[in-house]
Chain A
């Protein structure tokens, strides 16, 4: 019959086409990344390449290769060393910082790095009357709210005067919000500067194809050691499975945030190298210390004993985190109290404390979220915690909210709403998290994040003193003491410190993960 012939003919054509396509595709050496170009798989499309306008680690990963700050973190640590500033001095009262700039440094657009340029950078962010303040908004400008004024002395010296002593100032300067951008480029592109970045870093911006790639090329005029790579291409691939597939099929050289379930697969494969590094991250439960069962310290400690954190970290998170013991992650090695160890898993002790406090069988409301930066795997973790608490007699009711809605419920405070809530923070200085979330002066109604209303005057004093001191040894002593007290008071259930991870093909060399979570690529090479 004629129609059968037609179909047969169509079928043959289809098979022939597939073969031709397959040969053609196979012949084009499919899925090999270009030589000497590093292709990086990111978790999302960048929002902007203006470092003062962004808040996400995803954006920082690109920015730290285009720009530099007055100071930077020493390789492998969270301590600062010179970068664009060669030397600096701090006045005895901790109010005046003087930076001497490295001479002869140019921005990618050819204009020179001068003290005036540095002044422009900070005034643009902080002064609402600055002519280019409208190129914002600048969500993290409050990192520098302690600055009273910025002055220049000649072309090579910048002087910052602070309103009050603020020890984290240097560390904040090493953070992306302190990176130095070219004022001429801001003037030229105005609101579109975020799509035409110009910095002083080892890579210069080449191209940004929305939702497809951001391309950086080697800066041959870099003042330091120029990278060996010709270019770096950042590809946003939001679906984790697709990202893994791209890595496996050779479409990527480097991938960050490997899903816990795939880490083992890459580790076993000799074509890939897996990297891990503890980062300045804490995952915890905020406990309502104002009202309800959690107002009693014994109950809060009981929660810490009742949760099997080791199992959670090994089984739910597949080993991509380590158990936390306090508010300060070990990544801040200089300020971390090595004498502390996590609350051991001890349901018996938990039951005993609960009995003493007289809250056996208490009903608890637990806020859980479905996502969010640094929240790891919040839903299964919430379920595991609920199960652990059930074993010691608590009746935990979970309420799950989408991330932004969740923040809207948790940040104003847990009073009258919940007994516990999940939370996670990634910071750059041991001051930030405790100062914003554990002080009496940081209750939500005062603009802070102490949603559990924890209050201990000794802790308040220690944190305030540590912030004002510019002597690192002194600050370290104060933070260690604070950690001891907070560990004991247990305003939070300390659960985990995320181990950031990455995977590269085995041909990539010179790559290292940094405790800051920054992706620094100038030392990386590949054939």
Chain B
């Protein structure tokens, strides 16, 4: 197992390197440059050239890349052109915020999705199943930013029970209850689609398992229904659902961009979008690297979890 983990981590290194080259090339191919973005309407060829020179952007692409890699290997991610602060500071702060949001959303969608799926399967075609299916359908169909705005209008503007945006209160606050209060609406909005997907898949997986002979045997043996469902059926169904949760984690992380914009959540999605539009190459590289590395790690964890649930699987 340890050997397996090490192998996976080592394989990740060339992947990440390749990623940085691709990002570098794409950013170079997009028309425009940081100097034009910073100067905006004042971007005359003369001013742009001067600013590019000051930012070190008049060197060749290859040279810029090797300088960057060299700095990176010493732990220096460089300085953002547009924010004028070290890339690593900005990226870690923003990623931390996204982790909190995506983590909360994933927790919510996993627990709610699995529970809803189990209830749906156990009461197939019953009223609980129909209600859950209906709610899931609405959740999957509604665009996330629209839903987010609706929730803000309802809970923040009309009823005034939850904050409309932000991660913490602007004066005072900063503690855990404050964070949780601000986390509710964005996490719920973000998890809606994933909850729906996981619920439907769990339902299907459970229905599949509940038809198996060994379930009939377990009931015949006299085991309580709860034991049958959770200990025997659910555990087996979970093996098929975990990879989907893993994939949903990807969508949650990606969908976080819209949610971060609507709720002014200071996450990495919003940072990357802004960095790309202002051609802030170093910030884009730093952000993409951190997100990609976390993907690799998360995938590894998901695979290990699956293996631990079903020893029949080979690593």
Contacts and interface: CB of A to CB of B under 8 A. Distances in A.
State whether these chains interact. Answer: yes
Interface of A: 1-4, 6-7, 10, 21-22, 25-26, 30-31, 33-34, 37, 39, 47-48, 50, 53, 55-56, 136-137, 139-140, 142, 191-192, 194-195, 210-213, 233, 235-239, 241-242, 245-246, 248-251, 372-374, 402-405, 407-409, 411-412, 424-426, 444, 447-449
B94 to A, nearest CB: 7
Given A136-B54, A242-B152, A411-B45, A194 B84 contact: yes
Given A31-B156, A55-B40, A425-B41, A251 B165 contact: yes
B83 A211 contact: no
Contacts of B37: 404
B51 A139 contact: yes
Contacts of B43: 407, 411
A448 B84 contact: no
A191 B270 contact: no
A245 B170 contact: no
Contacts of A235: 166, 170, 264
Interface of B: 30-32, 36-47, 51, 54-55, 79, 82-85, 90, 93-94, 115, 118-119, 122-123, 128, 149, 152-153, 156-157, 160-168, 170-172, 181, 184, 224-226, 229, 261-264, 266, 270-271, 277-279
Contact of B270 (A136, A238, A373): A238
B210 to A, nearest CB: 12
Given A7-B115, A211-B94, A242 B264 contact: yes
B161 A245 contact: no
Interface centre among B128, B164, B166, B263 (most CB of A within 10 A): B164
Nearest to B266: A211
B161 A212 contact: no
B161 A30 contact: yes
B133 to A, nearest CB: 15
B31 A31 contact: no
A164 to B, nearest CB: 18
B163 A2 contact: no
Given A1-B225, A373-B41, A411-B43, 6 more contacts: A34-B172, A245-B153, A246-B156, A249-B157, A407-B43, A411-B44
B277 A402 contact: yes
B84 A250 contact: no
Contact of B36 (A191, A212, A407, A424): A407
Given A7-B115, A233-B170, A235-B166, A30 B160 contact: yes
A45 B163 CA distance: 19
A373 B40 CA distance: 8
A251 B32 contact: no
B44 A447 contact: yes
Given A31-B156, A444-B45, A55 B164 contact: no
B51 A191 contact: no
Nearest to B225: A2
Nearest to B184: A21
A196 to B, nearest CB: 11
A55 B42 contact: yes
Closest 6 CB pairs of A and B: A211-B266, A404-B32, A447-B46, A2-B226, A137-B54, A249-B156
Contacts of A10: 115
A74 to B, nearest CB: 26
A233 B170 CA distance: 8
A33 B157 CA distance: 14
B262 A191 contact: no
A37 B40 contact: no
B89 to A, nearest CB: 8
A444 B47 CA distance: 12
Contact of B166 (A1, A192, A212, A404): A212
Contacts of B161: 21-22, 25-26, 30
Contacts of B115: 7, 10
Given A25-B181, A53-B84, A242-B262, A212 B170 contact: yes
Contact of A246 (B119, B149, B165): B165
Nearest to B258: A239
Interface centre among A7, A211, A405 (most CB of B within 10 A): A211
